[in-house]
Amino acid sequence: MNKSDLVAEVSSLSGLTKSDASKAVDGIFDAITHALKKNGEIRFVGFGTFTVVKRAASEGRNPRTGEKIKIPASKLPKFRAGKGLKEAVA
């Protein structure tokens, strides 16, 4: 499923127009992104939790040359499915 499929599904399930459903989906994505930037965690009980994890700096190797390279520290978004979502999929 891609974003346009999601918009169509939200539109059909909620009775919204595709334009309104698109605005709602965009709003949810923007709100999640903003909350992760600000707080680092969002919990949807029964669905799952979005968090930001910190990856420490490390040393790697260039696969072509074997030369050592430094990999900088970074932050990554992570999603952990909740019990309700796990049970619905199983």
The predicted pLDDT at position 39 comes to 81
- Structure confidence at residue 32 (pLDDT): 94
Task: In whole angstroms, give the CA distance from residue 30 to residue 67.
Answer: 40
Token pair in block for residue 35: 């909350």
Average pLDDT over residues 61-76: 94
Q: Where are the domains of the chain?
A: 1-38, 40-90
What is the structure's pLDDT at 28? Answer: 95
Q: Which amino acid is at 11?
A: S
Indicate the CATH number for domain 40-90. 4.10.520.10
pLDDT at 61: 94
The model's pLDDT over 10-44, given as tens digits with 9 standing for 90+, comes to 999 999 999 999 999 999 999 999 999 998 899 99
Span 46-69, mean pLDDT? 94
Dihedral sign of CA atoms 27, 42, 44, 8 in order:
positive
The one-letter amino acid at 2: N
